[in-house]
Structure 1
Amino acid sequence: MVAFGKKLKDRQIEEWNGYYINYKLMKKKVKQYARQIEAGGVERRYVLKDFSRMLDNQIEKIVLFLLEQQGLLASRLEALGLQQDALQQEPDFVKINELREAYREVGRDLLKLLFFVEINAVGLRKILKKFDKRFGYRFTDYYVKTRANHPYSQLQQVFKHVGLGAVVGAISRNLAELQDRQGSYLSIYDQPALPLQEPIIDTIIAAVDRLSYSTNFLTFLGQHALIMQEELPTPLEEHIDDERYHFMSLMLNLVNTFLYMVNTYIIVPTADDYSMSLGAAATVCGIVIGAMAVAQLFSSVYFSAWSNRSYFRPLIFSSIVLFMGNVMYAMAYDMNSITVLLLGRVFCGLGSARAVNRRYISDCVPLKIRMQASAGFVSASALGMACGPALAGLLQVKFKFYKITIDQNTAPGWIMSFSWLIYLIWLWISFREPGQPRDENHAPESTTAPTNSDVLEKGSTTQPLLISSKPHNDEEDEDQECDVSEETTEDSRAPVNSIGAAYRLLTPSVKVQLLIYFMLKYAMEILLSESSVVTTYYFGWTTGKVAIFLACLGLTVLPVNMIVGSYISNMFEDRQILLASEIMVCFGILMSFHVILPYSVPQYVVSGLIMFVSAEVLEGVNLALLSRVMSSRLSRGTFNGGLLSTEAGTIARVIADGTITLAGYLGESKLLNVTLLPSLVICIMSIVATCFTYNSLY
């Protein structure tokens, strides 16, 4: 007996009400347990046993109903199969069309069943999170460990939709046989590449993938953007508001992303030479590279807040600041000023509009192409990361233009300033500011609890599982009122617009995932930023060789994500890939140390490749899990999940670049080991933390 928010209530199936998870009853039990434990009236062991039994009963109710409905669908498919066999003997195109529509109707009923399963899966996750929040994050670990991998696991049947694949296959095969060549002998098994133009099948497959977390290349790549999706599915006949979407504006956002990443990495191969030409030590390159990240810590926040009101103005401001920053960076050589050089990089960091790029995709791109846009965001970043060093390697020039020196150190600044000027003109001409959304998503959080009607009016999707039966007495009324109030304050869809509100939503699982993201960004920044200094000291590499090495690392991003997204992620759970990737990053760091034997090029290249590739794989699954364990409130607002991950990664880069500069005071001979040691310690900490929260990543 379940009542849903307005958006879900319109789609609930009344006759199935008694089979949904009784979320309110279990939440009330959690409150009772908390009071009893505080009063010393019950032991924790009893609480675990009693609540486990209650959850087992709820899951069994869901699973048995699911099996019953699967049987009904199977019976309908069997009857339709007999009709199809008869039509093959005596084809009748009118009846064939009727048969196709009958199969589609079964598909629509299957989609309702998948939606039913997903609602219950969300409810189970929510009640486990709520229990953990009350009792120290222990129950989910215990419950998942004892139930998920048991041979008779009913929990797996909810989360892995056991048996529904056969129904999907039957509908797909028969519709394929009736498509175009009506009554044809062709089969999806004979012609696996034959396109099936059936929207209902595409919708079913998407729903199945959501339940099982099956992924493909685009999905896995798009996860790197951490553009959070709705926790609950959209209806089949969803109306997508395309008024805010403009293709050229999306392209301009992606170009901004690409240029910014080029801007970030184009100076890496030459930063040490540039620093020495201005009278500083080679290891000052850490500060030069990191100055951009320091400024980005602040720019990410004000750009995220600015994008609540506009996208065009912050992008204009970003382009102007980046143009000025690159001019300052290039002019520092003729001015013989390390201060101007650093200020130029600070200006470049202040122009970081990645928060705007993310928000535009999240808020203005229709859901049907949002994953492709997210993958485009990540691809643009990866290509920029590869193109930056490669471009630096090509700029091996030296000449004067009037009194301006253009060489391998200053050319990156001039090239990027010209690129941002062209982009600014293009942006001014072609970008279209999207209109305001119909329902304001960025309103300030209210300090008063809304009423029942307020919750329904806003269509809160984070309170989908409350009892719909009428209360029997005043006490029940009071419970219901408190229930709504608690859900509104803790799990509402209101955007997070303060640091305090964001921090309160960070559970241990979220904190561990942010630590992992910090670790991988720290390790990657150490590898990339000190590559020029290390390879020059040990191997005597020129700028061109360093550029080729960094460009090759950047070019591995898309192929690696294609392999992981298309194959590995469908063979193993995300948490398994996460732990394995962390171990491989740790192995790569250990291989990089210079201990006794002479340091060789193969050791450096192989260890760097292992570390970089493992970190890339780790980033994808880390952000996928982060979006899953993170509160849905962090999908919107100024302090959204994307901003939090960006800040964690940026802080890691700042500390890593600072570590390089500080380690430089000990001499270049000790730079490698001194900078790798913190990476190793943080990596081991993240592995231990992952093991402690492993079963909560479900």
Structure 2
Amino acid sequence: MVAFGKKLKESQIQEWQGYYINYKLMKKKVKQYVQQIDVAAENRYHVLKDFSRMLDIQMMCINSSFIFPVKIERIVLFMLEKQGQLASRLSNLGERHDSVIQNLDGSRISELQEEYREVGRDLLRLLFFVEMNAIGLRKILKKFDKRFGYKFTNYYVKTRANHPYSQLKQVFKHVGISAVVGTISRSLAHLQDYEEGYVSMYDQPTRPLPDPIIVAIEEAVDRLTNSTSFLQYLGKHALIIQEELPSSEDHGNEDRYHFMSLLLNLANTFLYMVNTYIIVPTADSYSLSLGAAATVCGVVIGSMAIAQVFSSVYLSAWSNRSYLKPLIFSSVVLLVGNTLYALAYDLNSIHLLLIGRLFCGLGSARAVNRRYISDCVPPKMRMKASAGFVSASALGMACGPALACLFQTKFKIYRITFNEDTLPGWVMALAWLIYLMWLWILFKEPPFEGKDTSQHETNSGLIEAGALENDFNQPLLLSSGGKQQDEDEDQECDASEESAEEIHKPVTSIASAYRLLSPSVKVQLLIYFMLKYAMEILLAESSVITTYYFIWKTSNVAIFLACLGLTVLPVNVFVGSYISNIFEERQVLLASEIMVCLGILLSFQLIIPYTVPQYVCSAFITFVFAEVLEGVNLSLLSRVMSSRLSRGTYNGGLLSTEAGTLARVVADGTITLAGYWGMSGLLNITLLPSLIICVFSIIATFLTYNSLY
């Protein structure tokens, strides 16, 4: 994998070379600042202004003897000029289109189709040109912030991109592209109808797949504008970090991919989430039956999360050498853990109950599940697999409490009790036993490139953005003198940066990963912690709260939790297909945080009596908007997090898992500690930390808002 600057240079369209952002020149400027700057405030102000001017009026080298000034505005005007030329060509083709249709000339129809495709290919080149400039701008802003610790992106976006006449914003948004794409698409479909003998495209109920050039254009537009479909939006929840630069390679992991292994990997995700939430409706009654307080349910539920903090790391590291062995280990440990959980009732041991849940947490293989998708699924299927991972998690979350609702029975077999408290453990033990057998028989271990997996790791976590024509990616032809000068400049520019190998080398520790986090990424991890904390407080104490205030039965609690879980997919459909394409993700992020805060406020017991409508409405507001917040937060996180965190043991997915798991541990501990103040104060005491963390995350979001660009 080559460094961005080199890949940008090799991917340039030669005749448009003078309009590309000069990433190499800006890197050299950053290097000069590093050598000259001191901590004086006036120097910092000078650097900020000088670098802003450089971005506004950038000097771009066209060849070895000519320097040409290029503004960002010039890039935008060039883009509009090319769009006008494409529109003119389409207008001329439209006049010929009517004549060809009237004569029904088969050869001329084919010829016209190819001319429309040629316009489409030129449009694809233009989109690729704009995307390269947009990526270059984002990367140089991130690089500046990283090297100087300034809030430069915050300043530049606030003063440039948020301005009503912003030219910078046009680089990140399409202008009139939809009209051009629509014309090409309709015209090709219309010609295909006549070529195949149909009277009208609307009279044929079953349409063939759209023309490949249209598919490629639509994918390029979606990348440029961050437009999403439900599938793409859902897939981003998995936090498998995308490669920023588009690539024509679409076959990276074909030799490692096995469909049944992927299904077994997703089944592990589903069963683990069922295992997590199946005990929530009965954890308080189980604790009471063993002589403990009802609020000990916080420890019972949270002990699984405590163990998961450690299991996520060692199982992720294990997956450097194997995927089958960690999954087998996970299944065996979960089988043992659920058996111990179920036996605790007859042995009358709260300690055995907690040990059983700790074993279940030690079997958490979610890091392995993510890693398998990242490393072994081909790029063209990776988004679907990521969406499958998130869907399996959401369905497991809903199915867990729903299954608990069915266990309203009690009987004994050989002194072993089966009731609503123990059946979740026995059912999950049986499920993991069956899964373990299928895993042993059907899972296919992918090939590894030896004990050192750094090579295969460098390709993991890269979701390919789409295919471009091969000739777009050919190196520019340079004269020998120009080529030598270019190589010298490359060496000079790269001297202050890590080597390409170092840039793409996976991090080797949590500390190294933490050093790669920018302030905005840290804020987003804080938001993730907050939403997981709020959701865990809501879910884990639901049984205790509803029993105390409303005298709900286990079945009522189970149905309530299942209904909450069932909102996950519909909410993501609405946000991914509609909301995220109307508003910026940072706008949705901030609005969702405010709504979560409102939901928490509505949950407080300020009026006596505490009513069911108040509790249910506040719970749905908190849970639904926390789900929306999780989606947009992880989507933003996957875009702004360092690409080095897309690979290896300590990847972005592991960091988010650890943040979320830590939030659950703290939340469950809060419930148990709050129980010492009595049931009457439990609700308000546990909600207060949620409110404080939520308000703090909103303030932090305001402070970093303009860097979420």
Q: Is the structural similarity TM-score above 0.5?
A: yes
Q: If the length of structure 2 is used for normalisation, what is the TM-score?
A: 0.90
The 5-angstrom pairing of residues 184-203 of structure 1 reads 196-203=209-216
Q: Distance in 2 between matches of 1:679 and 1:119?
A: 42
More displaced 10-residue stretch of structure 1: 12-21 or 472-481: 472-481
Would you say the 8 A contact 2:674–2:682 is kept in 1? Answer: yes
Q: Distance in 2 between matches of 1:210 and 1:39?
A: 39
SS of the residue aligned with 1:105? helix
With over 3 angstroms needed to count, the CA separation of the structure-2 counterparts of 1:14 and 1:253, relative to structure 1, is same
Would you say the 8 A contact 2:26–2:140 is kept in 1? Answer: yes
Equivalent residue number for residue 419 of structure 1: 431
Q: Distance in 1 between matches of 2:404 and 2:686?
A: 25
SS of the residue aligned with 1:243? helix
SS of the residue aligned with 2:150? coil
Of the three residues 492, 508, 529, the one matched with 2:503 is 492
SS of the residue aligned with 2:411? strand
Deviation, 1:550, is 0.5
SS of the residue aligned with 2:242? coil
With over 3 angstroms needed to count, the CA separation of the structure-2 counterparts of 1:378 and 1:69, relative to structure 1, is same
Of the three residues 416, 424, 446, the one matched with 1:434 is 446
The 5-angstrom pairing of residues 40-119 of structure 1 reads 43-57=43-57, 58-119=71-132
Matched, 1:349 2:364: no
Equivalent residue number for residue 460 of structure 1: none
The 5-angstrom pairing of residues 519-530 of structure 1 reads 519-530=530-541
Equivalent residue number for residue 18 of structure 2: 18
- What do the CA deviations read for 1:194-240 (whole angstroms, capped 9, x no partner)? 555211111110110011111111111112111222111122x7445
Equivalent residue number for residue 125 of structure 1: 138
Deviation, 1:18, is 2.4
Of the three residues 386, 394, 400, the one matched with 2:412 is 400
* Amino acid in the other structure paired with 1:88: I
Equivalent residue number for residue 453 of structure 1: none
SS of the residue aligned with 2:311? helix
Would you say the 8 A contact 1:91–1:183 is kept in 2? Answer: no
Q: Distance in 1 between matches of 2:444 and 2:501?
A: 36
- What do the CA deviations read for 1:283-317 (whole angstroms, capped 9, x no partner)? 11111100100000011011111112211111111
Deviation, 1:8, is 6.0
Would you say the 8 A contact 2:604–2:687 is kept in 1? Answer: yes
Matched, 1:244 2:272: no
Q: Distance in 2 between matches of 1:630 and 1:501?
A: 14
More displaced 10-residue stretch of structure 1: 24-33 or 629-638: 24-33
SS of the residue aligned with 1:643? helix
Of the three residues 534, 548, 564, the one matched with 1:537 is 548
Deviation, 1:142, is 1.8
- What do the CA deviations read for 1:24-54 (whole angstroms, capped 9, x no partner)? 2222223333444418596444433332222
Would you say the 8 A contact 1:88–1:183 is kept in 2? Answer: no
With over 3 angstroms needed to count, the CA separation of the structure-2 counterparts of 1:491 and 1:601, relative to structure 1, is farther
Of the three residues 369, 377, 398, the one matched with 2:381 is 369
The 5-angstrom pairing of residues 212-223 of structure 1 reads 212-223=225-236
Matched, 1:562 2:573: yes
Q: Distance in 1 between matches of 2:142 and 2:156?
A: 12
With over 3 angstroms needed to count, the CA separation of the structure-2 counterparts of 1:416 and 1:145, relative to structure 1, is same
With over 3 angstroms needed to count, the CA separation of the structure-2 counterparts of 1:184 and 1:150, relative to structure 1, is farther
Q: Which runs of 5+ in 2 are unaligned?
A: 58-70, 459-474
Q: Distance in 2 between matches of 1:470 and 1:249?
A: 53
Equivalent residue number for residue 670 of structure 2: 659
Would you say the 8 A contact 1:441–1:636 is kept in 2? Answer: no
The 5-angstrom pairing of residues 462-501 of structure 1 reads 477=488, 480-481=491-492, 483=494, 486-488=497-499, 492-501=503-512
Task: Count residues in correspondence.
Answer: 678
Deviation, 1:437, is 6.5
- What do the CA deviations read for 1:161-186 (whole angstroms, capped 9, x no partner)? 22322222221121111124339898
- What do the CA deviations read for 1:627-684 (whole angstroms, capped 9, x no partner)? 1110111111111010000000000000000011111111111111111000000000
Deviation, 1:484, is 5.0
Q: Distance in 2 between matches of 1:554 and 1:143?
A: 41
SS of the residue aligned with 1:181? helix
Of the three residues 678, 681, 694, the one matched with 1:683 is 694
Would you say the 8 A contact 1:177–1:184 is kept in 2? Answer: no
Of the three residues 143, 163, 181, the one matched with 1:150 is 163
* Amino acid in the other structure paired with 1:128: L
Would you say the 8 A contact 2:535–2:623 is kept in 1? Answer: yes
Q: Distance in 2 between matches of 1:84 and 1:67?
A: 25
SS of the residue aligned with 1:267? coil
- What do the CA deviations read for 1:245-298 (whole angstroms, capped 9, x no partner)? 111111111111110000000001111111111111111111110010000001
With over 3 angstroms needed to count, the CA separation of the structure-2 counterparts of 1:183 and 1:337, relative to structure 1, is closer
With over 3 angstroms needed to count, the CA separation of the structure-2 counterparts of 1:637 and 1:3, relative to structure 1, is closer
Would you say the 8 A contact 1:156–1:162 is kept in 2? Answer: no
Deviation, 1:74, is 2.6
Equivalent residue number for residue 316 of structure 2: 304
Would you say the 8 A contact 2:307–2:359 is kept in 1? Answer: yes
Matched, 1:516 2:527: yes
With over 3 angstroms needed to count, the CA separation of the structure-2 counterparts of 1:176 and 1:572, relative to structure 1, is same
Identity in percent: 73
Q: Distance in 1 between matches of 2:298 and 2:691?
A: 19
Equivalent residue number for residue 64 of structure 2: none
Q: Distance in 1 between matches of 2:279 and 2:3?
A: 57
SS of the residue aligned with 1:665? helix
Would you say the 8 A contact 2:242–2:639 is kept in 1? Answer: no
Deviation, 1:89, is 2.9
- What do the CA deviations read for 1:482-518 (whole angstroms, capped 9, x no partner)? 5255143798222222222201111001000000000
SS of the residue aligned with 1:373? helix
Would you say the 8 A contact 1:104–1:200 is kept in 2? Answer: yes
Deviation, 1:20, is 1.3
Of the three residues 658, 661, 666, the one matched with 1:650 is 661
SS of the residue aligned with 2:340? helix
Would you say the 8 A contact 1:173–1:188 is kept in 2? Answer: no
Matched, 1:614 2:625: yes
Deviation, 1:97, is 1.1
Would you say the 8 A contact 1:269–1:546 is kept in 2? Answer: yes
Equivalent residue number for residue 33 of structure 2: 33
Matched, 1:581 2:592: yes
Q: Which runs of 5+ in 1 are unaligned?
A: 447-463
Would you say the 8 A contact 1:491–1:631 is kept in 2? Answer: no
Equivalent residue number for residue 552 of structure 1: 563
Deviation, 1:123, is 0.7
* Amino acid in the other structure paired with 2:578: Y
Would you say the 8 A contact 2:235–2:383 is kept in 1? Answer: yes
Q: Distance in 1 between matches of 2:10 and 2:436?
A: 46
* Amino acid in the other structure paired with 2:666: I
SS of the residue aligned with 1:405? strand
Q: Distance in 1 between matches of 2:4 and 2:419?
A: 65
Q: Distance in 1 between matches of 2:645 and 2:306?
A: 24
Would you say the 8 A contact 2:31–2:496 is kept in 1? Answer: no
Q: If the length of structure 1 is used for normalisation, what is the TM-score?
A: 0.91
Q: Distance in 1 between matches of 2:338 and 2:304?
A: 11
Deviation, 1:598, is 1.3
Of the three residues 167, 179, 186, the one matched with 2:180 is 167
SS of the residue aligned with 1:400? strand
* Amino acid in the other structure paired with 1:664: G
| Structure 1 vs Structure 2 CA RMSD | 2.9
Equivalent residue number for residue 313 of structure 1: 325
